[in-house]
């Protein structure tokens, strides 16, 4: 039997064809700019291809999270360089993307905390508050315990309360 093992090139091709549409849609929804979304999508695959192995257990979860993190970084960097009006305005836009039950509350919360919290907490906030993932799903996505995620969200909310008091 002639055995044809898959090459890394085939793996890359399969990975791209399978997941690029999902990654681009994610980037488009967060960035609302086709050129930037395409650029970040490429960066997501660059990050994945620099890994030792392409045998990923749950590629969609990993790619979704990497895309989310890179988009949030892009938004933050733009705000820092004064390219956008303000990080709050950008976050407002992000918060309005999904039709969740408590949009206004989430929008305000995210606007306040976005520039003050660590990267991982921001990702947690977006996955839970914007994407509508449960605490368990969010914990699985970011590789933390449910109590860890709950603690981060509690910390974000207390930051928000403090900011509100100012």
Which residues would be at the binding site for another protein (CB under 8 A)?
1-6, 8, 10-22, 24-25, 29, 38, 41-43, 45-46, 49-50, 52-61, 64, 98-99, 131-133
For 43-108, the DSSP string reads HHHHHHHTSS----SSHHHHHHHHHHHHHHHHHHHHHHTT-SS-HHHHHHHHHTSS--TTHHHHHH
Tracing tokens 């291809």 back to the chain, one arrives at 49
Least distance CB 165 / another protein (angstroms): 33
Residue 78, judged by CB atoms within 10 A of its CB (0-12, 13-18, 19+), counts as middle
User: Which residue's CB is nearer to another protein, number 18 or number 86?
Assistant: 18
In the complex, what is the shortest distance from the CB of residue 127 to another protein, in angstroms, rounded to a whole number?
A: 8
Nearer to another protein, 28 or 76 (CB): 28
CB of 144 to another protein, least distance (A): 17
């Amino acid at each position: 039997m002639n055995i044809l093992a898959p090459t890394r090139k085939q793996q890359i091709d399969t990975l791209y064809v399978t997941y690029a549409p999902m990654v681009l849609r994610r980037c488009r929804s967060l960035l609302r700019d086709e050129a930037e979304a395409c650029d970040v999508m490429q960066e997501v695959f660059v990050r994945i291809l620099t890994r030792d192995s392409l045998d990923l257990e749950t590629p969609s979860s990993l790619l979704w999270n990497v895309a989310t993190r890179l988009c949030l970084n892009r938004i933050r960097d733009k705000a820092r360089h004064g390219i956008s009006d303000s990080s709050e305005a950008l976050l407002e836009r992000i918060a309005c993307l999904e039709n969740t039950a408590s949009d206004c509350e989430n929008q305000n919360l995210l606007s306040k905390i976005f520039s003050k919290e660590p990267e991982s907490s921001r990702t947690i906030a977006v996955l839970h508050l914007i994407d509508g993932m449960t605490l368990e799903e969010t914990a699985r996505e970011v590789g933390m315990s449910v109590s860890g995620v709950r603690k981060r969200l509690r910390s974000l909310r207390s930051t928000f309360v403090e900011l509100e008091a100012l």
